[in-house]
Amino acid sequence: MRNVPGAPSARARDPRTSCRPRRPTRVTSRGPSNVLLVRNLRDPATPYSGALNLRRAFGNRARMVTVDPGGHDAYLANGNPCGDRLVTAFVAEGRRAAHDTLRPAESR
């Protein structure tokens, strides 16, 4: 198990005790293959390189859907219907894409 360099640390919180993090969650390539990462390519708040590092750490357990418009939103609010369809298929029906997908910005 290892920490993912450049990726935000996932922390478990126990609301009964406090808001302080308990211990970092370790991301590995072992475990269920039911992870979908949804990412905006040009998110001003989080670097794309961190998302790529996290994706590598998950190995074949995950797929990543990346959409191209700027901003922080990556699902439903970004004007990328194709990316939205991929995420909705996963959430509603459990269908995960066969490979990582980069959806370019679509004209409105």
Residue 19 included in any domain = no
For 92, the domain range is: 35-103
Residue 40 included in any domain = yes
Residues 27 and 10 sit within 8 Å (Cβ to Cβ) = yes
Residue 56 included in any domain = yes
Number of domains in the chain: 1
pTM over 0.75: no
Which among 98, 82, 100 has a CA at the least distance from the CA of 37?
A: 100
Residue 6 included in any domain = no
Per-residue pLDDT of the chain (108 residues; tens, 9 = 90+): 445 555 444 445 455 555 666 677 777 888 888 899 999 888 888 888 999 999 999 999 999 999 887 777 788 877 788 889 999 999 999 998 889 998 887 655
**How far is 22 from 67, CA to CA, in rounded Å?**
33
Residues 66 and 103 sit within 8 Å (Cβ to Cβ) = yes
Residue 10 included in any domain = no
